[in-house]
Amino acid sequence: MDIRNSPFDDVHGLEERFSNKTFDVNDAIASIIRGLAKTLRGELDALEEVTNDTKNREQEASESLNRFKRALRRFKEVVIPANKPHLFFVNHMEAFSSLTRDVVGLRALEYFMLWLINLTRDYRNIRVLLTCSPLFYYDFMMDIPFRDNLQIIGLGDLPKHEAQSAYEKFVSSFSCQFNSKEKPIPSPPDFEQVYSILGGRLHDLSKFVELYYTTQQKVEDYPDLGATISKFSQVLYPELYGKLLRAQVSSPVLWEKEHVVTAWKMLLNAPNHVVPYVKFIEQIPMNIFYSMLRYGLVLFRPQSSGYCDFEICKKMDTVTFRRPLDKIAAKKVLENLNENSLNSGF
């Protein structure tokens, strides 16, 4: 469910992590989740109004919070089939961010998180996946107890100093879980080495630390990097790539090989690998750009409102790689492409 819809959330690729699992789509569950999302949106708005208004604040806040709790309790009335796994996906958790300045809002967030934790405890076949901005994760979600069936993903990159602090917290947390006197595990790689490959994306940092403590994974062999290089090699052959993903993505593949090469070269050569949106679509037709966006080849960062004029949009809206791994993979694929071209010329 989307607590607050945001069409440009970077959720591309999350479904790939669950593509080998068959999650049940149950009408009763889907119906109550839709109702729950609607109630949450309404009560979040009500709680926001209460936190901004000093009149009758305490009573209204209490009533709204109680409605919020009742909406969550209604989920208990649903009969969940025990013989199939279920994925409970909550997108855009930072809808709660405006509430965190107030004790009532913090209580709502705390109650919702405890409810999700209990959900994974009471129903072993339910997996909960949350997405939020990295800063919201860093400020409010990082200390939530680790559970196998509850995964929180901070989408996007943190500033470097905050990413380092997060990395050190991950190391401390996983070290306590997996280290023992009988089998001590050496300290993981230095943050600078990890940051040069993974950047400040919390999802990749936490996943790498977990892999390191469970399998002694090297950062240069991080599996998502190899998978991304493989994917980017395939996208150069759009007809084949479209057939491979037809079951997962309904939108047709519209780009040609030249479009992908042009886009990657633009991004790799741009300062900080960021290109103004208007400049990007001067080289890549708009329908091609949206096709690439749907398949997760690029990331669009809208900064302007829909009412801005063309010149403001030109300065504000940008296109970039989805994550540092994509940048490394694109560079590697282009290098391989150039090597193959040189070899074929002899």
For the whole model, what pTM was predicted? 0.57
State the DSSP string of 137-201: IIIIITTSPPBTTEEEEE-SBPPHHHHHHHHHHHHHHHHHHH--SSSPPPPPPPHHHHHHHHTTB
- Domains of the chain and CATH, by start: 14-156 (no CATH), 227-337 (1.10.10)
The residue ranges of the chain whose pLDDT is under 50 are 1-28, 247, 304-308, 346
Q: Tell me the C-alpha distance between 305 and 309, whole Å.
A: 9
Place of tokens 């004029």: 309
Using DSSP bridges, classify how beta strands 150-154 and 126-132 pair: parallel, antiparallel or unpaired.
parallel
Q: Tell me the C-alpha distance between 120 and 99, whole Å.
A: 25
List pLDDT tens digits, range 29-38. Answer: 555 555 555 5
Q: Which helix (H) or strand (E) holds 332?
A: helix 324-345
Provide the pLDDT for residue 12. Answer: 41
List pLDDT tens digits, range 139-171. Answer: 677 666 656 677 776 666 777 888 898 899 889
Provide the pLDDT for residue 283. Answer: 94
Question: Is residue 221 within 8 Å of residue 321, measured between CB atoms?
Answer: no
Question: Is residue 220 within 8 Å of residue 266, measured between CB atoms?
Answer: no
CB-side exposure of 246: number of CA atoms within 13 Å? 6
List pLDDT tens digits, range 214-242. Answer: 888 899 888 888 888 998 999 998 887 77
Provide the pLDDT for residue 18. Answer: 42
DSSP character at residue 321: -
Provide the pLDDT for residue 177. Answer: 80
Torsion of CA 159, 163, 165, 170, to 10 degrees: 160
Provide the pLDDT for residue 343. Answer: 63
Give the residue among 221, 248, 236 at the shortest CA–CA distance from 333.
236
Q: Tell me the C-alpha distance between 191 and 199, whole Å.
A: 10
Question: What is the three-state SS of 6-38?
Answer: CCCCCCCCHHHHHCCCCCCCCHHHHHHHHHHHH
